[in-house]
Amino acid sequence: MAEAPQLKRKREEEREEEREGAAGAVSPFPLAELRLRKVLRESARDKAVFLHGEVTNASGEGTDAVIILEKTPFQEEKVLELLKKHTKLELQMHNDIYSTYHLYPPPELSEIKATVVFPATPKHLHKYLRQEAFLVRESWQDYSHITLPFVQQQALSLQWVYNILEKKAEAERIVHENPDPCSGFVLLPDFKWDQSQLDDLHLIALVQRRDLRSLRDLRAEHLPLLRNILTEGQEAICRRFGVPACQLRVFLHYQPSYYHLHVHFTALGCEAAGSAVERAHLLPDVIDNLLMEPCYYQRRALTCPLRADEPLLKKFQEAGRL
Ligand code: M7G
């Protein structure tokens, strides 16, 4: 809920720039033409719903879209306004000293964050579909024979990453950049974070080089890159957002969704989805592992969760590894 005043000011400026930039550069998503095809997933805990929609053009052709709707966290400075400003209160139940209400705030205080993937590929639809997950223990041989060929053929497009690295998108959102082609990176807010408050802070560092896919590619020679990400990333976040290194969770996912090496920075107080032990690898631990054993990630087996209809899970099943 806390928000540094400079963050608030900066945010307002950035939102203004984003609005102007978005208005000038891309046409808004045609919400009016959207048809709902399916609810992919719904989470009462996260107050979010993941939708599969279809936009039909003038000649009747449909294009798939994924729309994620999330209730945004409360902002301390707006709570009073929320209670007072033209807010309708409707009694739901009353018992002794206890009562619950439906509260209907005015539109400007009941914002919903909408993330749109359009056009969405079948891979995006799968990514957001609620599914059972299974743990796979991936040896280095499994990685070479099953995972790597799969990633080379079928992974999600990295165009959004290259757009950021080439300043074709989100350039105004960059918080820090180290331009070194070998050991440099770009740090910017993850699009899961709306930057309204620090509680759910989430930034990502995207490496400049394009030859590192994931944890599996890391060797001791990449230590300068990893150290830069850790120290410069922590310093930049402390400078910009006032969150110290000891309150940041800095980690990589295995398996990631996007196979261009990147590192997540999230607020320690926030139980961010994806920070569970079966998927998150803390960057300081990764650095130590590589210091002890230069080929650590080419030697050891790694456990990772794969969801039921992920094609990679099918590959492991076909190979008799599950
Ligand atoms: P990941 O570890 O590959 O997998 O993280 P996950 O998506 O299952 O967590 C990729 C991260 O990049 C995620 O946290 C996404 O929210 C974030 N991300 C994805 N896209 C397409 C964008 C984007 O266009 N811009 C920004 N800023 N972040 C993105």
Calculate the alpha carbon distances from 105 to 71, 82, 110 in Å.
13, 6, 6
Q: What pLDDT is recorded for position 97?
A: 92
Quick one: pLDDT band at residue 129, thresholds 50, 70, 90? Answer: confident
**Residue 254: which region, alpha, beta or left (left: phi > 0; alpha: psi -120 to 50)?**
beta
Q: What is the DSSP string of 74-120?
A: P-HHHHHHHHHSS-EEEEEEEETTEEEEEEE--GGGS-EEEEEESSP
Mean pLDDT for the chain overall: 89
Quick one: pLDDT band at residue 21, thresholds 50, 70, 90? Answer: very low
pLDDT at 311 over 60: yes
Q: What is the mean pLDDT of residues 2-13?
A: 52
Q: Which amino acid is at 251?
A: F
Q: What is the C-alpha to C-alpha distance for residues 280 and 250, in angstroms, rounded to an integer?
A: 9
Quick one: pLDDT band at residue 19, thresholds 50, 70, 90? Answer: very low
**Residue 92: which region, alpha, beta or left (left: phi > 0; alpha: psi -120 to 50)?**
alpha
The values of phi and psi at residue 201, to 5°, are: -50, 135
Please report the atom of ligand 1 found closest to the CA of residue 188: 27
Q: What is the mean pLDDT of residues 59-71?
A: 92
What are the extents of the domains in the chain? Answer: 34-72+113-130, 75-110, 131-318
Q: What is the C-alpha to C-alpha distance for residues 253 and 314, in angstroms, rounded to an integer?
A: 20
Q: Out of 1-5, 6-10, 208-212, 242-246, which region has the weakest mean confidence (pLDDT)?
A: 1-5
The values of phi and psi at residue 129, to 5°, are: -75, 135
Burial-class residue 49 by CB neighbours within 10 Å (0-12, 13-18, 19+): middle
Q: What pLDDT is recorded for position 295?
A: 97
Q: Model confidence over 150-202: pLDDT tens digits?
A: 999 988 899 999 999 999 999 999 999 999 999 999 999 999 898 888 988 99
Q: How far is the CA of 289 from the centre of ligand 1 (A)?
A: 25
Positions marked catalytic = 262
Q: How far is the CA of 296 from the centre of ligand 1 (A)?
A: 26
Percent of the chain with pLDDT over 90: 66
**Candidate from 257, 263, 270, 312 with most ligand 1 atoms within 8 A of CB, to mutate:** 257
Quick one: pLDDT band at residue 14, thresholds 50, 70, 90? Answer: low
Which residues have any ligand 1 atom within 6 Å of their CB? 160, 170, 188, 190-192, 204, 253, 256-258, 274
Query: If you ran DSSP here, which 8-state letter would residue 156 be given?
Result: P
Q: How far is the CA of 106 from the centre of ligand 1 (A)?
A: 31
Please report the atom of ligand 1 found closest to the CA of residue 173: 27
Please report the atom of ligand 1 found closest to the CA of residue 202: 14
Quick one: pLDDT band at residue 7, thresholds 50, 70, 90? Answer: low
**Candidate from 50, 116, 192 with most ligand 1 atoms within 8 A of CB, to mutate:** 192
Q: Kindly state the tokens that stand for 215.
A: 């944890």
What CATH class is the domain 34-72+113-130? alpha beta
Report the predicted TM-score, pTM, of the whole model to 2 decimal places. Answer: 0.82
Q: Whose C-alpha lies nearest to ligand 1, atom 2?
A: 256
Please tell me which residue, 246 or 310, carries the higher pLDDT value: 246
Q: Model confidence over 71-98: pLDDT tens digits?
A: 988 888 888 888 887 778 899 999 999 9
Q: Whose C-alpha lies nearest to ligand 1, atom 22?
A: 191
Calculate the alpha carbon distances from 115 to 51, 255, 263 in Å.
10, 22, 21
Please report the atom of ligand 1 found closest to the CA of residue 189: 27
Q: How far is the CA of 299 from the centre of ligand 1 (A)?
A: 27
Q: How far is the CA of 203 from the centre of ligand 1 (A)?
A: 10
Q: What pLDDT is recorded for position 20?
A: 47
Q: What pLDDT is recorded for position 162?
A: 97
CATH of domain 131-318: 3.30.428.10
Q: What pLDDT is recorded for position 154?
A: 82
Quick one: pLDDT band at residue 16, thresholds 50, 70, 90? Answer: low
Q: Whose C-alpha lies nearest to ligand 1, atom 21?
A: 160
Helix (H/G/I), strand (E/B), else coil: 48: strand
Q: Out of 130-134, 269-273, 278-282, which region has the weakest mean confidence (pLDDT)?
A: 269-273
Query: If you ran DSSP here, which 8-state letter would residue 157 be given?
Result: P
